[in-house]
A and B are shown apart, each in its own frame.
Chain A
Amino acid sequence: MTAWLGRRVEGLPVAAIVVLFAALALYPLLTALPFWRHIVIMSMLYGAMGVAWNILGGLAGQVSFGHGLYFGIGAYTAAYCYKAFGLAPLLSVPIAIAISTLAAVLIGLPTFRLRGHYFVLASVFIMEGIYVVVSNWDQLGAAIGLEYPVYRAQGFLDALWHGQFPGKLPYYYGALGLFVLALVAFRVIQRSPFGMFLVAIREEQDAALSLGVDVARYKLYALIVSAAITTLCGTFYAQYVLYVEPMSTVSLVVSLEICFIAILGGIGTLWGPALGAFVIVPLTELLRAYLSGRIALDMSALSGGGLMAWLEYYARGGGGNLDILAYGLVIILIARFQPAGVLGFIRRID
């Protein structure tokens, strides 16, 4: 009767999955400190995006360095619609997904028929282009971004309607919901004919084509699904921080973070990106909290003083961006010693 607990879902026994997610669900009982809740919220949010990215990057083998675009579409659509029309964020979700689908089609349609890395290049350049556009678009607050007017909600439903909750707890469970949604979507796709086609495309595109798989069409479907989940995460993010600006949404930094989470966690696997997020996000958040944020890198310390002056400057606790340096170091170390990703440390993937 309890045999199903011993069944494995991609190597992880169902019993372990139940325990892990129960722990996630109960975690807020452990600490009321906003910072510790925030770290797990961000881990689950980025975990959801890593898993969504993995549908396209891991299953279909189409690497996107531009998923920040879809994240930004979700965030900006919600913020703009709320500010301009007073539209409830929940209702702006379908609009955001429609826009992200359109963007996916515009990028995927011309590039997925082509061979090689046209899609990768297109994904980067289009997102960078959009970054510049958004940074100069007055209606979207240009480089400064859009700030939500604070709303004092009366009760849960009112808060849900306006997408603003006073505490972190509702956001915590919202992020958990997104995380589970992304994992379930990945798993369902992975075990469907659609997922089989994606893997076939990744493994040997010509063979897939010769067997009747409409390669370009399925790549596009994968991008649309992956983008839609990322868009949903973007809307959630906007409601969580109540402030949307280009650098933390439609930027290359965000895009790379999403794909690093998937690649370093274990590309193409169900649990890899989920695990990757729980390694990388806490790491960046902690590094940011303890290393950076003191003072931004002051180039004047470099000029004239030379290396020693620069190091001294850091030693005195000046200098910022050390978090990004440390982050890069971790990426290099994982790539060097465990190319299969963090998941590879736990079980051997071959």
Chain B
Amino acid sequence: MTGPLLEIAGLSKRFGGVYANRDVSFAVARGEIVGLIGPNGAGKTTLFNLVTGFIRPDSGLVRFAGAEVTGMRADRLCHLGVARTFQILKPFPRLTAEENVMIGALARGGGMRRARESARRCLALVGLDHKREVQARGLSTGQRKRLEMARALATSPQLLLLDEITGGVDQPSIPGLIALVGRLRDEGVTLLVIEHNMRVIMGLADRVVFLHLGAKLAEGRPQEIAAHPDVVALYLGRRDGGH
């Protein structure tokens, strides 16, 4: 099938008088890794919530695999093939890692046995097979990030939205997480990724969308974005004496 897997057109969302997202448009092609960056409060997570059905946009369209899915509930979107992780991690704390991942597999149908097999496969893929029997609340932040990825993966998504790959994770764990995202792409998953760490996103993404104050400020290849004057100004401070 041709056309982008995800298409966002003129998406806006206001909370009170503040625009969390303002007229945001971009597309994600199949097999791509697209990075979503921007300063704190730029509206990245709100955009995720709009795309994954956790909140409804005030205006604008979301198309997934050619069908309009604007405002569709999160669980239905998941059945269409949209999965996500959360910036503030949301594991099922008193379930084991394996049970956590089984939920994702079960919701897509199939019995307990198949779900368990699928969960083990996904846990192995993210490198958590040795933590199968551990309750999620006993895992480190990095491990819980992997757990959320495994759980999302178990729903057999076409599109996976990762909210902060490396946030809150200790330095030594970062390369492993980056490699993992690459593996997910190799599995055939298209990825839309929020990331604060510029170096990480530059190495990982095929394209980058830059949000500022809810609006799209720039979009392009990582090198282009890194050299974009507005991006430089916002991330590194202005050199022209503006501030």
Is the C-beta of A211 less than 8 angstroms from some C-beta in chain B?
A: yes
Is the C-beta of B79 less than 8 angstroms from some C-beta in chain A?
A: yes
> Which residues from B are CB-within-8-Å of A207?
86, 90-92, 103, 151
- Structural contact, A212 and B75, CB atoms closer than 8 A: yes
- Structural contact, A197 and B92, CB atoms closer than 8 A: no
Is the C-beta of B115 less than 8 angstroms from some C-beta in chain A?
A: yes
User: Known contacts A196-B102, A197-B103, A197-B107; is A209 also within 8 Å of B95 by CB?
Assistant: no
> Which residues from A are CB-within-8-Å of B106?
193, 196-197
**8 Å CB contacts to B: which residues of A211-251?**
211-215
- Structural contact, A196 and B99, CB atoms closer than 8 A: yes
**8 Å CB contacts to A: which residues of B70-125?**
73-75, 78-79, 83-84, 86, 90-95, 99, 102-104, 106-108, 111-112, 115
Contact-residue bracket for chain B: 20 to 34
- Structural contact, A212 and B94, CB atoms closer than 8 A: no
Is the C-beta of A210 less than 8 angstroms from some C-beta in chain B?
A: yes
User: Known contacts A196-B106, A197-B107; is A203 also within 8 Å of B92 by CB?
Assistant: yes
User: Known contacts A209-B75, A211-B104; is A193 also within 8 Å of B111 by CB?
Assistant: yes
> Which of A192, A203, A204, A212 makes the CB contact (< 8 A) with B107?
A212
How long is the Cα–Cα vector from A215 to B54 in the complex, in angstroms? 13
> Which of A193, A200, A209, A214 makes the CB contact (< 8 A) with B92?
A200
> Which of A199, A206, A212, A214 makes the CB contact (< 8 A) with B104?
A212
Residue of chain A at shortest CB distance from B112: A193
Is the C-beta of A287 less than 8 angstroms from some C-beta in chain B?
A: no
How long is the Cα–Cα vector from A10 to B155 in the complex, in angstroms? 29
User: Known contacts A193-B112, A196-B102, A197-B103; is A213 also within 8 Å of B95 by CB?
Assistant: no
Least Cβ distance of B108 to chain A in Å? 6
> Which residues from A are CB-within-8-Å of B99?
196
> Which residues from B are CB-within-8-Å of A132?
none
Residue of chain B at shortest CB distance from A207: B90
> Which residues from B are CB-within-8-Å of A214?
75
Residue of chain A at shortest CB distance from B83: A210
User: Known contacts A193-B115, A203-B95; is A211 also within 8 Å of B103 by CB?
Assistant: yes
- Structural contact, A206 and B75, CB atoms closer than 8 A: no
Most-contacted residue by chain B among A197, A206, A207, A212 (CB, 10 A): A212
> Which residues from A are CB-within-8-Å of B108?
212
Is the C-beta of A331 less than 8 angstroms from some C-beta in chain B?
A: no
User: Known contacts A193-B112, A200-B95, A211-B78; is A206 also within 8 Å of B107 by CB?
Assistant: no
Write the residues of chain A forming the contact surface with B, with a CB cutoff of 8 angstroms: 191-193, 196-197, 199-200, 203-204, 206-215
A-B contact pairs, 20 of them (CB 8 A): A193-B106, A193-B112, A196-B103, A200-B92, A200-B95, A200-B103, A203-B93, A204-B91, A204-B93, A206-B74, A206-B86, A207-B90, A211-B75, A211-B83, A211-B104, A211-B151, A211-B154, A211-B155, A212-B79, A212-B108
Q: Add 16 more A-B contacts to A209-B78, A213-B107 (CB < 8 A).
A: A193-B112, A196-B106, A196-B112, A197-B106, A197-B107, A200-B95, A206-B86, A208-B103, A210-B83, A210-B84, A211-B103, A211-B104, A211-B107, A212-B79, A212-B108, A214-B75
Write the residues of chain B forming the contact surface with A, with a CB cutoff of 8 angstroms: 52, 54, 73-75, 78-79, 83-84, 86, 90-95, 99, 102-104, 106-108, 111-112, 115, 151-152, 154-155
